[in-house]
Structures are given as C-alpha cells and as structure tokens.
Homo-oligomer: A and B are copies of this chain.
C-alpha cells in the first residue's frame, strides 16, 4: 500500500468519525470527503460503500463502550455497576449521533462486526444478570428490554435541551427498572 494511500485512508476515517458523530449517518458523503480534504472517489477506493465506512467508525466506538462495560463487571455493587453503565451509555450516545443512529438501526448495532456485536451484548447481559441476582433490577427484564430502554431513553434525552432535565429523565427510566 502506497504511503499516500495509507495517509488518505486515515484522514477519511478521522473525518468520518467527526462528521458522523455530529450529524449521524444521514450526512452526505461529499461532506466527509470535503472535511478529509480528498475527493469522493478516494473515499470509495478505501471503503466500498458509505455504510461500510460507517461500520468502521462504529466498530471503534463500540470498542470504547466495551472497555467501560468490562471495567464495571468487577464493581463491588452489581446494581450500581448496571445503572452506571446504563447512564454512561445513554450519555455517550446522546453526544454522538453516529452511536445513536447505529443503536436504533435494525434492533441494535447493525454496524460493527458480528463478533464485536455479540461480545458487547454478552457483556451487557452479564451486568444485567448480576444486578438482577443482587436484587437491584426487575427480574423480568432481559437484554432485549434493556436495549429497547436504552434506545428509548436516548430518544427521550435528546428531546430536551437542559442537561439537568436529561439527567432527571435518565433517573426516571433507571428507577423504573429497579426491582420493587
């Protein structure tokens, strides 16, 4: 691979991270090319479709989320770990339209590799069942419910502008998930 090709690939990926984070997957690809300082053709030489580029960006983001989830697994209080994860995830996604678009699409991360997808949700499952065993979360919720609630919470949060209001909404939703 030629040096300029590698350099341009990096540039495109970095620009795509920024632009997708700001505007979500709906942004025109030309905008990404422009921000990267390359032509549209160059983008397509490195990524076969716009969606593939989006996947590549999301894969990176999911790695970060997974690192967080993994760290929380060792927390003393499984209930607190779960709720921290929930709040953190919602906040991350509310700041990153790429992440929220990916979450909503087709019931989960439609983007990112299959194995990343699977291991991420396996981690979520562990946090959830841990919290349920500790009596902190309603026992009748499964990982699908949690995903749905994260997506819903995300949507609720970006209906309001005031960050204090957003925090309150997260609190409301978390309260609803607690065991009675």
Contact partners of A141 in chain B: CB under 8 A: 168, 172
Decide if A37 is an interface residue (CB 8 Å cutoff).
no
Residues of chain B contacted by A159 (CB below 8 angstroms): 104, 107, 144, 147-148, 151-152
Once A148-B160, A157-B148, A160-B144 are accepted as A-B contacts, the answer to whether A172 and B168 lie under 8 Å apart by CB is no
Is A122 part of the contact surface with B, judged by Cβ < 8 Å? no
Number of copies: 2
Please judge, given known A-B contacts A159-B107, A172-B176, A176-B172, whether A165 and B145 are in contact too, CB under 8 Å: yes
Is B152 touching A155 in the complex (CB atoms < 8 A)? yes
Contacts of A91 in B (CB 8 A): none
List of B residues within 8 angstroms of A104 by Cβ: 155, 159
Minimum Cβ distance to chain B for residue A97 (Å): 15
Complex contact A151–B145 (CB within 8 A): no
8 Å CB interface, A159-173 against B: 159-160, 165, 168-169, 171-173
> Which B residue sits closest to A107, measured CB to CB?
B159
Question: Is A31 at the interface (CB under 8 A from chain B)?
Answer: no
Residues of A within 8 A of B (CB): 104, 107, 138, 140-141, 144-145, 147-149, 151-157, 159-160, 165, 168-169, 171-177, 180
